[in-house]
C-alpha cells in the first residue's frame, strides 16, 4: 500500500462544473496536508494547505480533511480550462518528511 494514494485519472469535467479530487493516506500520525498543482512541463506549486478536520476555502478551491477516515479532498468550483493540470496530494509523515501521491490529472473541457 502506498503512503499517499490518488486516482491517476484523467478526471474530465465540463467547464463551469465542480471538480472533486480525492486522496487517502496511511499514516495516522500525519498532521499537515497539502495540494500542489503541476501544469504539463512545469514544476509543482502549492495551492492549498490544511491542518485540521473540516473545510478550508480559498477562492474557487476548497480543501477538505477527515483524519478519522484518513481522507483529503480538493474541490474546484466553476472549473476553468486553465485548471487543467495534475494535482498532487502531499502529506507529512511522522518524521516530518513530505510524501507526495502520484497525482490526478484533471481535464476541464470548454
Partner 1 sequence: EADIYQTPRYLVIGTGKKITLECSQTMGHDKMYWYQQDPGMELHLIHYSYGVNSTEKGDLSSESTVSRIRTEHFPLTLESARPSHTSQYLCASEQGIGIQYFGAGTRLSVL
The answer to whether residue 80 forms part of the interface with partner 1 (CB under 8 A) is no
Integer-rounded Cα Rg, in Å, for the chain is 13
Chain centroid to CA 38: how far? Answer: 11
Query: Near partner 1 by CB under 8 A, which window of 18-26, 58-66, 76-84, 93-101?
Result: 93-101
Figure out which of the listed residues 28, 29, 43, 52 binds partner 1, where binding follows CB under 8 A: 43
Figure out which of the listed residues 61, 75, 100, 107 binds partner 1, where binding follows CB under 8 A: 100
* Residue whose C-alpha cell reads 480559498 in the numeric block: 58
Q: Which segments of 51-103 are extended strands (E)?
A: 54-58, 61-66, 71-76, 85-92, 98-100
The answer to whether residue 97 forms part of the interface with partner 1 (CB under 8 A) is yes
Query: Near partner 1 by CB under 8 A, which window of 15-23, 65-73, 77-85, 91-99?
Result: 91-99
Query: Near partner 1 by CB under 8 A, which window of 20-28, 58-66, 69-77, 89-97?
Result: 89-97
Figure out which of the listed residues 21, 24, 34, 47 binds partner 1, where binding follows CB under 8 A: 34
Cα(98)–Cα(63) distance, integer angstroms? 18
Grid coordinates in use for 48? 492549498
The answer to whether residue 61 forms part of the interface with partner 1 (CB under 8 A) is no
Would strands 85-92 and 54-58 be described as parallel, antiparallel, or unpaired? unpaired
Amino acid at each position: 500500500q502506498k503512503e499517499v494514494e490518488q486516482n491517476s485519472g484523467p478526471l474530465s469535467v465540463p467547464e463551469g462544473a465542480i471538480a472533486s479530487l480525492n486522496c487517502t493516506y496511511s499514516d495516522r500520525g500525519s498532521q499537515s496536508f497539502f495540494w500542489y498543482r503541476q501544469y504539463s512541463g512545469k514544476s509543482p506549486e502549492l495551492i492549498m494547505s490544511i491542518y485540521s478536520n473540516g473545510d478550508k476555502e480559498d477562492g474557487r478551491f476548497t480543501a477538505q480533511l477527515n483524519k478519522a477516515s484518513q481522507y483529503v479532498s480538493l474541490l474546484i468550483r466553476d472549473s476553468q480550462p486553465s485548471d487543467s493540470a495534475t494535482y498532487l496530494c502531499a502529506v507529512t509523515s511522522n518524521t516530518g518528511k513530505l510524501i507526495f501521491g502520484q497525482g490526478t490529472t484533471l481535464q476541464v473541457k470548454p
